[in-house]
Each structure stands twice: as C-alpha cells, then as structure tokens.
Amino acid sequence: MNPEYLLIDGKDQIMGRLAAQVAKLALLGKHVLVINCKDIVISGDKQAIFDRYVEKKNKKTRSQPKWGPFFHRTPDQLFRRTCRGMLPFKMSHGWEAFKRIHTAITADYDKEMHRKVVPHAVTDAGKERLSHKYVTLEAVANRFGWKLQT
C-alpha cells in the first residue's frame, strides 16, 4: 500500500523557510514530495552564497580522504540535504522522518510510485517577500558541476 503524499511546489519558494516546513511535516509523520526543486530560491547576495557553498565543497579530511565529506550537486539533493539539517537525523525518529522526504528536479516525477498525491499549500515562504537579492538552486547546482541541466 502506497502512502498518501503531500505535494509541494518549490517554484519561487525560499529554501530555508520551505525546508523548515517540510521537515516539520515529515516529523509529524507525513510523506512529502517537493517538485520543481531547481526553481527554489536562496535569499542573499549571489557571491556570498556561492562562497559559502565553495567552502562546503572544499572541505577535506586528512586521515581518510576517500570517506568524505561528499557534496551533492543536483538541486533536489541539495534541498533534501538542507531538510536533513533541520531534522534530528541521528535519532531514530529523525531518520525515519528524513526517509519520508522525497524531491524531484522538475514537475515530472514518478507518478506510478506516488499514486495518491494531495497538493499542499506552503505559507509564508514565497519569493515576493524578497528584494532583488536571491539566486536559484539551479544556478548553484550549475556552478558546482550539475551535468544534466534541463
């Protein structure tokens, strides 16, 4: 039996606010599917955002360099990793909640797997609250090696 999924459209949504709401829904036991992850926006100065992601990407370990840290490059995995940061994923209920979060780069998702989809409105996370300073998650992913641009 497939569970019922809450469908959230990420187009023009602020990443931090959206991730907090998705994490809260997942902790409450809901299965969440976020589509259009490439159109999610990150608020702030473009160069400062890129610099922050460069620092994350360039972290190295001295003892075991082949064991990570690993850096996701696709927009859907970048967003899913942001949601993981808002969950207590080292505890069992946080890890189970993380498994209930699903993402898709565009609106084309596997409709066979997600048969029961209910649209869910996200409040107070829209781009209209921002000034001109923001960058899309697609631009960040393109900057750091996303090969399958749409």
pTM summary value: 0.83
Nearest Cα neighbor of 13 from 73, 83, 109, 72 is 83
Instruction: Please give the domain boundaries of the chain with CATH numbers for all domains.
Output: 5-143 (3.90.1180.10)
Q: Extract the runs of DSSP E, i.e. beta strands, from 1-150.
A: 5-9, 31-35, 41-43, 101-103, 117-119, 134-136
Q: What is the pLDDT of residues 40-54, one digit of tens each?
A: 999 888 899 999 888
Per-residue exposure over 7-22, b if at least 16 CB sit within 10 Å of its own CB, e if not: bbbbebbbbebbbebb
Compute the average pLDDT of residues 47-69.
Answer: 78
Question: At 134, is the pLDDT very low, low, confident or very high (cuts 50, 70, 90)?
Answer: confident
Question: At 80, is the pLDDT very low, low, confident or very high (cuts 50, 70, 90)?
Answer: very high
- Please give the C-alpha separations between residue 83 and each of 17, 42, 46, 47, 120, in angstroms, as whole numbers: 10, 14, 21, 23, 17
Q: Which two tokens stand for residue 141?
A: 């992913």
Q: Which two tokens stand for residue 19?
A: 């991730």
